[in-house]
Amino acid sequence: MTEDAVAWVLLAVVAAYACAGGTDYGAGFWDLFAGGAERGKRPRWLIDHAMEPVWETNNVWLIFVLVIMWTGFPVLFQTVFTAMWLPLALAAVGLVLRGAGFALRKPTQRLAGRRVYGAVFAVSSLLTPFFLGAAVGGLATGRVAPGTEASADAWSNGTSVIAGLLTVAATAFLGAVFLTADARRFDAADLVGYFRLRAWCSLGALAVLAVVGLVVTREDARHVHDGLTSGIGLTLVLVAVVSALATAGLLYRSATGWARITAVGSVALVVVAWGLAQRPYLIPTSLTVSEAAGATTTLRWLLLVTAIAVVLVGPPLVLLYRLDTAGALQPLTEADLRRTAAGREPEDP
């Protein structure tokens, strides 16, 4: 069925955003908790260098999520953005602050200015994923149905809060794992241990939150809870747990390259498990995939556009990450921009 295929694409893109964007938010999370200007100097230096070339690409996935939602499942888009008005509006504000903070921090030279932009970037790195996660958690509870008006109840319940916290913890985990790998890549031996410890801690926090989440969702989000604790959903969750534990072990053995893969795998598997647990609903238990689907011709075209895009965008994306991990991507330095060339003498004195 076409709409199922599009739903799979949507799920895959959400998983991609969770992993790519999540890593990026995680870097911001650790920027926030890196301490004062002096103590946080080294971690922040690493975060800056690791994020710079890829952060924009990492965050463009979100635009796909939105576009596939409104083109493929217009009713879903309308419902989500009506019912979850405030958390999504706050997430949008967070996105502006975060991007602007990060982009403006680099070319700013005075320390005071950098502190302000850095703080803005770091705080919104925490709030944005929280609100996005809370919105998703709220959907799972069944409090939202087509026609539901915006209300605080939809996103200020136990499941929403736990989902928001889980999202933040997952971003912190991804961020720490990737930064451990980056620390090795940039030959910063002291930061390998620093971020490895943080990766382990965030994994611990994830485990605690997951257990709390299981208890909370039992009554509050029955459909998703059942899907995640039985059948294929449970299988995927267990594989994700194994994968996360493997990440912890790989970090211990300093196999940071593999650790990145297992970390991404564990987060992606949880997202996919969640998606499967919602079946056949896009919004449990009021809107099924087939009810929400847009015109069939559009869905077919959407799949075609997706296929073409995979062919066109895939290779450059691989190239970008390869160049990045190979250390071929570096920002221009002030020296590059200042090098005064011959021909700068006045030509008609």
Contact present, 167 and 15 (Cβ < 8 Å): no
Count the site residues for another protein by CB under 8 A.
101
Between CA 142 and CA 225 the distance in angstroms is 12
Between CA 47 and CA 26 the distance in angstroms is 10
Does 226 bind another protein (CB under 8 A)? Our answer is: no
Q: How far is the CB of 121 from another protein (least distance, A)?
A: 11
Interface residue with another protein among 68, 168, 259, 263 (CB under 8 A) is 68
Nearer to another protein, 221 or 287 (CB): 287
Residues in contact with 64: Cβ distance below 8 Å, sequence separation at least 6, in sequence order: 13, 16, 17
Nearer to another protein, 20 or 244 (CB): 20
Point out which span in 70-78, 135-143, 155-163, 281-289 binds another protein (CB under 8 A).
Answer: 70-78
Does 112 bind another protein (CB under 8 A)? Our answer is: no
For residues 75, 79, 81 and 86, what is the CA-based torsion angle, rounded to 10 degrees? 180
Measured CA distances, 336 to 50, 332, 333, 345 (Å): 20, 6, 5, 19
Nearer to another protein, 54 or 270 (CB): 54
Q: How far is the CB of 260 from another protein (least distance, A)?
A: 19
Q: How far is the CB of 193 from another protein (least distance, A)?
A: 17
Q: Which of residues 41-60 bind another protein (CB under 8 A)?
A: 41-42, 44-45, 48-49, 52-54, 56-57, 59-60
Q: Which of residues 290-329 bind another protein (CB under 8 A)?
A: 294-295, 297-299, 301-302, 305-306, 308-309, 312-313, 316-317, 319-320, 323, 327-329
The amino acid occupying position 297 is T
Helix (H, G, I), strand (E, B) or coil at 141: coil
Contact present, 17 and 65 (Cβ < 8 Å): yes
Contact present, 226 and 145 (Cβ < 8 Å): no
Burial classification of residue 162, based on how many CB atoms lie within 10 Å of its CB (0-12 exposed, 13-18 middle, 19 or more buried): buried
Interface residue with another protein among 21, 22, 72, 142 (CB under 8 A) is 72
Q: Which of residues 123-162 bind another protein (CB under 8 A)?
A: 149-150
Contact present, 80 and 66 (Cβ < 8 Å): no
Nearer to another protein, 81 or 200 (CB): 81
Does 249 bind another protein (CB under 8 A)? Our answer is: no
Query: What phi, psi does 52 have (nearest 5°)?
Result: -45, -60
Does 333 bind another protein (CB under 8 A)? Our answer is: yes
Interface residue with another protein among 1, 33, 107, 218 (CB under 8 A) is 107
Between CA 196 and CA 193 the distance in angstroms is 5
Contact present, 88 and 131 (Cβ < 8 Å): yes
Q: How far is the CB of 190 from another protein (least distance, A)?
A: 11
Does 33 bind another protein (CB under 8 A)? Our answer is: no
Q: Which of residues 158-217 bind another protein (CB under 8 A)?
A: 186-188
Nearer to another protein, 253 or 338 (CB): 338
